[in-house]
Amino acid sequence: MTPQTLTSPAQLDALRKRLIERRQGNKTIVTICAGTGCLACGCEAVANAFREELKEGRLESIVELRLTGCHGFCERGPLVVIHPDEIFYQKVKPRDVKLIVDQTIKGGKLVNKLLYKDPQTKQVIPHEREIPFYKKQMRLIFGKNGHMDPTAIGDYIVLGGYSALPKALRMTPEQLIEEIKKSGLRGRGGGGFPTGKKWASCRKAKGEPKYVICNADEGDPGAFMNRSLLEGNPHSVIEGMIIGAYAIGSHDGYVYVRNEYPLAVTNLSVAIKAAREHGLLGKNILGSGFDFDIEVSRGGGAFVCGESTALMASLEGKIGEPRAKYIHTVDAGLWDKPSTLNNVETWANVPLIIEKGADWFASIGTDSSKGTKIFALTGKVNNTGLVEVPMGITLREVIYDIGGGCPSGKRFKAVQTGGPSGGALVVETRDEAVHESLVAHGDVREDEYAQSLLDLPVDFDELAKAGSMMGSGGMIVMDQDSCMVDVAKYFINFLQDESCGKCLPCREGLRTMLTILTRISEGRGEMADIDTLEELSQVIMDTSLCQLGGSAPNPVLSTLRYFRQEYIAHIKDKRCPAGVCKELVSHAIDETCTGCHVCSDPCPTNAILGKTKELHVIDQSKCIQCGACYQVCRFNSIQRVKRGEGDAVQARAKQLWKPHVTPRETAAVA
C-alpha cells in the first residue's frame, strides 16, 4: 500500500476508521516483546519459531504475530502475550512455541509451566494485568508499547495515536501553552522544570528560527525508559514534538539520541519517515498551514551532553562543553536561537494531556507533581524492569510491592535515584547501622528514630526535601552486599571520567576525591580524609560551571551521612563490612560447602582445592580475591571476611563439616 498523504483531520479520521474496520474479527494476536531486554534473551528465535509453527499449521490467516516494543518486565523475558485473552507467558524458549500453538491457540488451554508464578504466594497468574508487577502500575505512557509494532504507523493510529494533533492545531498556541501549564507537567529529565513555563518563555523570546529539541541522550547509568519509549512508541514522541513546535512557533526539530541505542535510532528514523509520508511531518501538516520537520542526530557518547548547553554544542557539531547559563537556552540556545529542550518522556506526555485534557492529567499525582513517572527498577531487586507509577506512590510500594524486594532473602540497604550526578541514596533510616551514622552525623538524637525515607511519596519536592531527587528515573536497589564506600568511589570515578574538563573544580576536585576514596577503600585512609572529602564536596558544588559538577559530590555526601560507620570501618578497622573492597577482603569456604566443584572451575589461579563431595578449601596464598567463586556458589558457602582471617574460617569449617547427603542418595539407599 502506498501511503496516502493526509491533507486534513477528516482524512486522518477516515484512515483510522478504515484501519480499525480491517482489524475487526476474531483474530488471535500473539505479541512478542522485542525490546532490547527481550532481544538479549533471544526473542528473535522465539518469533521465528512462531512464524514456522503458524505457517505449518496454516494458521496465518487467523493468527497475527506482532513484534512489539518493551513490555517492561525485562526480568522475565522473552515475553509472549496472547490477545484478546491477555494470556501472559514468560521466559519462553523456541521449543515452547509448539506447545503454545497446540494448546493455547488451537486448544484454548493454558500452558501452565510458562505462566507467571508469584514467588511469595506460589499462585499461578495467567493474565498480564493481574501480575503484582503490573497491578500497581499506571501505564499511561507505556500502555501502548505492548500492543503495537513500533515500525507500523497504522498500529499507533488504530490505538488513537495522532488524535491529539488535530485538536492541538485547532487551538491557538497561547491556548495550548495554557493547557500544558494547567496540567502541571514538569520536565521528566530530572530537573522538574514546569514545561508550560519553558514553552511560554521560548514563544516570547526574540529571534528566528526557533528550535525544539528532544533530549534522548540518556546517559545516566541505570536509566533506560527513554530508550524503551523511542524503541517501542516513537510516534508518541514525534506527536508531542509537533504539538510543542506549534505552541512555540518552531519549524525545525532535532532528536539527539545516543549512538549506543541503535534500535532506537532505527525505529525513530522509520517512524519519522512514515509520519512524513502521511503528511504528519513536513509542509502544511494536515492542511493546517503549519510546517515542521524533525532531524535525528546521533550523539558521540559523552555523559555531559545530557546537559542542555553541552547537548546544543554537540548538535552544532562541536565538542560537548557546557556554558554558563546567564542567558537561558530558551532565549539563546542552538545556533544562539531560542530553543526548547525537553526529555523524551516529557514529549511523550504531551499528546496524552491534549487528548484527555489538562484537568484529567492534573487529577493524577500529588499537589506539586502531576501525572506518572517511569522508573527503571534495577540492581538487587527481584522484579527488574521498567515501571510506570502515579506520582505520590511510596518508594516502599515500588521496591516491595512491584519489585518484590531483594533476592535471596538479603537485606535491603539503599536505593539510589537520580543518576550519578545528583545520585542520592534513599535508605531505611530505621536500620540500626544507619541510625548510628545519623547520630554520629548529628542528624538525630540517640533515642529518636528518623521517619523511614522509604515511606516518602515519589514527588519532585518531597524527594528533594529529604535530600534525594527524582532524577531521570533510575532506581538502583542495593542490598547488604553493596559497600557504600565502593558505591561512592564508583560514582566519583564515573564523573571524573565524564567531566568535560572545562572548569577546574570539577576536573581537579573530582580527581582528588577519587584519590582519597581509593585510599580509603584500600585500607590506607585516615580519619582526616572524611573532613577533606566534605570540604572538597562543598567547594565543587559551589563553584562548578554546570550541574554535572554541581551535583557530583552528592553520592559522597549522602553515603557519608547515612553510612559514616562504613567509612570508619574501612579507615580504623581496615575492614569492608560488605566484603566488596578487594584489598580488605579474604575469600574463605565455610562448613556449608557441598563439594560440588562449581567454584573451582572458574577460579583463574586454581586456588580452590578439594575432592568432589568433600569440603573445598581456598589456598589463601594463591587467591587473588577476584570473586568468581562467590558469584557462582549456589549455597552461599563462600564468605568474604576481613583480610587475613580466611584461614581461621576454613579451619573452623574443617572441624564442623559433615558429608552432605543429597536427596537422590537417600532414595538410592532406601
Which residues here bind another protein, judged by CB under 8 A? 36-37, 39-41, 74-75, 218-224, 227, 258-262, 269, 297-303, 314-320, 376-380, 384-386, 416, 420, 423, 474, 476, 478, 482, 487, 490-491, 494, 498, 500, 601-602, 604, 626-628, 631-632
C-alpha span between 347 and 195 (Å, rounded): 10
C-alpha span between 187 and 498 (Å, rounded): 23
CB 329 within 8 A of CB 312: yes
C-alpha span between 587 and 645 (Å, rounded): 9
CB of 337 to another protein, least distance (A): 13
Q: State which residue, 57 or 407, has the beta carbon closest to another protein.
A: 407
Q: State which residue, 90 or 369, has the beta carbon closest to another protein.
A: 90
Q: State which residue, 55 or 318, has the beta carbon closest to another protein.
A: 318
Q: State which residue, 75 or 355, has the beta carbon closest to another protein.
A: 75
C-alpha span between 312 and 341 (Å, rounded): 9
Per the omega criterion (within 30 degrees of 0), is the bond before 209 cis? yes
SS3 (DSSP) at 385: strand
Q: State which residue, 416 or 437, has the beta carbon closest to another protein.
A: 416
CB of 479 to another protein, least distance (A): 8
CB of 407 to another protein, least distance (A): 10
For 584-657, list the strands marked E by DSSP: 585-589, 608-609, 617-618, 638-642
CB of 274 to another protein, least distance (A): 15
Q: State which residue, 209 or 602, has the beta carbon closest to another protein.
A: 602
Residue 438: is it exposed, middle or buried by C-beta count within 10 angstroms (0-12/13-18/19+)? buried
Q: State which residue, 83 or 298, has the beta carbon closest to another protein.
A: 298
C-alpha span between 240 and 165 (Å, rounded): 8
CB 187 within 8 A of CB 198: yes
Q: State which residue, 75 or 590, has the beta carbon closest to another protein.
A: 75
CB of 42 to another protein, least distance (A): 10
Positive or negative, the CA dihedral 643, 645, 651, 653 is negative
Instruction: Give the angle subtended at the CA of 582 by the CAs of 496 and 594, to the nearest 5°.
Output: 140
Q: Which one, of 65, 265, 231, lies nearest residue 150 by Cα?
A: 231
Give the DSSP per-residue string, 409-459.
GPPEEEEEES-STT-EEEE-TTSHHHHHHHHHHTSS-TT-PPPPGGGSB--
Q: How far apart are the first and last CA of the chain?
A: 71
CB of 618 to another protein, least distance (A): 15
CB of 556 to another protein, least distance (A): 15
Q: Which one, of 349, 365, 561, 328, lies nearest residue 467 by Cα?
A: 561
The one-character DSSP state at 6 is P
C-alpha span between 249 and 243 (Å, rounded): 10
The one-character DSSP state at 57 is T
Q: State which residue, 183 or 600, has the beta carbon closest to another protein.
A: 600
Q: State which residue, 63 or 230, has the beta carbon closest to another protein.
A: 230
Q: Which one, of 274, 264, 215, 223, lies nearest residue 241 by Cα?
A: 215
Residue 171: is it exposed, middle or buried by C-beta count within 10 angstroms (0-12/13-18/19+)? middle
CB of 416 to another protein, least distance (A): 7
CB of 115 to another protein, least distance (A): 20
CB of 75 to another protein, least distance (A): 6
Q: State which residue, 301 or 659, has the beta carbon closest to another protein.
A: 301
Q: Which residue has the cell 514538569?
A: 186
Q: State which residue, 249 or 423, has the beta carbon closest to another protein.
A: 423
Nine cell digits for residue 416:
539510589
Q: State which residue, 9 or 379, has the beta carbon closest to another protein.
A: 379
Helix (H) or strand (E) holding 271: helix 262-277
CB of 227 to another protein, least distance (A): 4
C-alpha span between 661 and 426 (Å, rounded): 44
For residue 72, what are the CA distances in angstroms to 142, 246, 493? 8, 32, 30
Within 10 angstroms of residue 48's Cβ, the number of other Cβ atoms is 12
The one-character DSSP state at 618 is E
Q: State which residue, 609 or 626, has the beta carbon closest to another protein.
A: 626
Q: State which residue, 184 or 471, has the beta carbon closest to another protein.
A: 471
Q: State which residue, 313 or 391, has the beta carbon closest to another protein.
A: 313
Nine cell digits for residue 2:
502506498
SS3 (DSSP) at 343: strand
Amino acid identity for residue 161 in this structure: G
CB of 39 to another protein, least distance (A): 7
CB of 593 to another protein, least distance (A): 18
CB of 477 to another protein, least distance (A): 8
CB of 602 to another protein, least distance (A): 4
In b/e form, how buried is each residue of 92-112, taking b as 16+ CB within 10 angstroms?
Answer: bebebbeebbeebbeeeebbe
Tally of helices (H runs) and strands (E runs) in the chain:
27, 19
CB of 317 to another protein, least distance (A): 4
CB 401 within 8 A of CB 389: no
Strand partners, 293: 252
CB of 182 to another protein, least distance (A): 33
Nine cell digits for residue 394:
511510596
